[in-house]
């Protein structure tokens, strides 16, 4: 896939990701875009066979919320199970899950975790399979840490939903979360990780908790992963809940339909995120340069990154254009970068190459 094809697909899907019959919103018409396409397709040209790629991620942020009953990340969980519903971009025959205590202030005990193909609502769509960690069903994750589960043999298809259930046996305190899931997720009292039924999950919430990624061993045609990195535009703000209508979802559909070589797509958008400022609302996360390696270039199989960020900070400022360059520098030489920067306000530079 050429650079031009990827940018064209990205542009089309950013536009198609908004709700049907609605005009392009102001932040699309007066784009505050740092569009950074960091292509690595040539780097994997000689690699044959299957490889691990990230097929879903929810960039982790500290616990914080505007409405605690809808997302209790500010107070946390206590002897509860969270069932996270996640939408894959690429399929494979082996799966592993990344549990996260990235924003935790203390080590956190994860009592158990399971995975299944998604069904309707909180109900599983297939067998519920336990996850293990170096052979154990529970794990203590250090403050600020993340852990990959042992790989499990499980065939998943592009655009499948997975249910990832995690039991927290004690008081967690403020949770590692992804605040704007644009997806209904579910809470149960006690350890309900092994239940395929919806009945134990009596509370619906709007955020993901304690899960930050899913990786698959993908077919050889999946050359790697394209990371859509940005703020609320990428994250899916105002997108229909549980419909998977974010622009990276549409891009994933387009790439999954390709007959030849293709890429997985993951969404590293964080609503309210800024290039240079850490906002007081914790759910808006850390600055783009701070998280770029973690959420972008260091993701498993990362081959390309689209950076669409700056609407919250006013990207007409020279320092924001510097931040775009700084993000690219965080790739540590593993990516070739070209970018497009458009100012949001009158007099701002347009289409400036970074």
Which pLDDT score is estimated for 338? Answer: 37
Torsion of CA 200, 203, 204, 210, to 10 degrees: -80
- pLDDT mean across residues, the chain: 83
Which residues are CB-neighbours of 71 under 8 A, at least 6 positions away?
65, 177, 179, 205, 206, 207
Which pLDDT score is estimated for 188? Answer: 98
Which residue, 278, 277, 275, 281, is CA-closest to 327? 275
Percent of the chain with pLDDT over 70: 75
Which pLDDT score is estimated for 275? Answer: 86
Summarize pLDDT for 162-190 with one digit per residue, the tens.
999 999 999 999 999 999 999 999 999 99
pTM reported for the whole predicted model: 0.84
Summarize pLDDT for 250-279 with one digit per residue, the tens.
999 999 999 999 999 999 999 999 988 888
Radius of gyration of the chain (CA): 19
Summarize pLDDT for 27-43 with one digit per residue, the tens.
333 233 333 334 434 43
Which pLDDT score is estimated for 339? Answer: 42
Give the domain ranges of the chain: 3-49+220-353, 62-212
pLDDT band at 3 (very low <50, low <70, confident <90, very high): very low
Residue 155 has pLDDT above 70, yes or no: yes
Question: Which of the two residues, 95 and 306, has the higher pLDDT score?
Answer: 95
Q: What sign does the CA torsion over 244, 245, 246, 251 have?
A: positive
Judge contact between 145 and 204, C-beta under 8 A. no
Residue 46 has pLDDT above 60, yes or no: no
């Amino acid at each position: 896939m050429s650079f031009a094809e990827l940018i064209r697909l990205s542009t089309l899907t950013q536009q198609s990701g908004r709700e049907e019959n609605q005009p392009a919103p102001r932040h699309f018409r007066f784009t505050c875009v740092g569009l950074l396409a960091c292509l690595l397709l040539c780097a994997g040209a000689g690699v044959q066979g299957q490889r691990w790629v990230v097929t879903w991620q929810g960039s982790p942020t500290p616990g914080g919320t505007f409405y605690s009953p809808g997302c209790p990340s500010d107070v946390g969980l206590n002897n509860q199970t969270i069932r996270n519903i996640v939408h894959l971009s690429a399929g494979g025959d082996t799966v592993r899950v990344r549990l996260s205590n990235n924003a935790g202030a203390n080590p956190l005990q994860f009592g158990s975790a399971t995975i299944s193909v998604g069904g309707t609502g909180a109900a599983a769509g297939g067998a519920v399979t336990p996850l293990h960690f170096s052979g154990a069903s529970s794990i203590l994750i250090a403050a600020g840490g993340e852990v990959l589960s042992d790989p499990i043999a499980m065939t998943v298809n592009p655009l499948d939903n997975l249910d990832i259930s995690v039991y927290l046996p004690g008081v967690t305190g403020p949770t590692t979360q992804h605040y704007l899931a644009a997806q209904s997720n579910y809470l149960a009292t006690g350890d309900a990780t092994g239940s395929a039924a919806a009945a134990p999950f009596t509370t619906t919430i709007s955020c993901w908790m304690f899960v930050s990624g899913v990786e698959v061993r993908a077919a050889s045609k999946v050359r790697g992963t394209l990371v859509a990195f940005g703020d609320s535009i990428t994250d899916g703000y105002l997108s229909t809940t549980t419909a998977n209508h974010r622009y990276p979802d549409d891009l994933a559909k387009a790439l999954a339909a390709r007959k030849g070589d293709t890429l997985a797509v993951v969404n590293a958008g964080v609503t309210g995120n800024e290039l240079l400022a850490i906002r007081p609302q914790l759910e808006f996360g850390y600055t783009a340069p701070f998280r770029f390696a973690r959420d972008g270039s260091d993701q498993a199989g990362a081959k390309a990154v689209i950076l669409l960020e700056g609407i919250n900070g006013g990207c007409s400022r020279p320092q924001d254009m510097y931040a775009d360059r700084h993000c690219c520098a965080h790739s540590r030489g593993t990516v070739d970068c070209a970018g497009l920067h458009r100012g949001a306000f009158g007099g701002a530079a347009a289409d400036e190459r970074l």
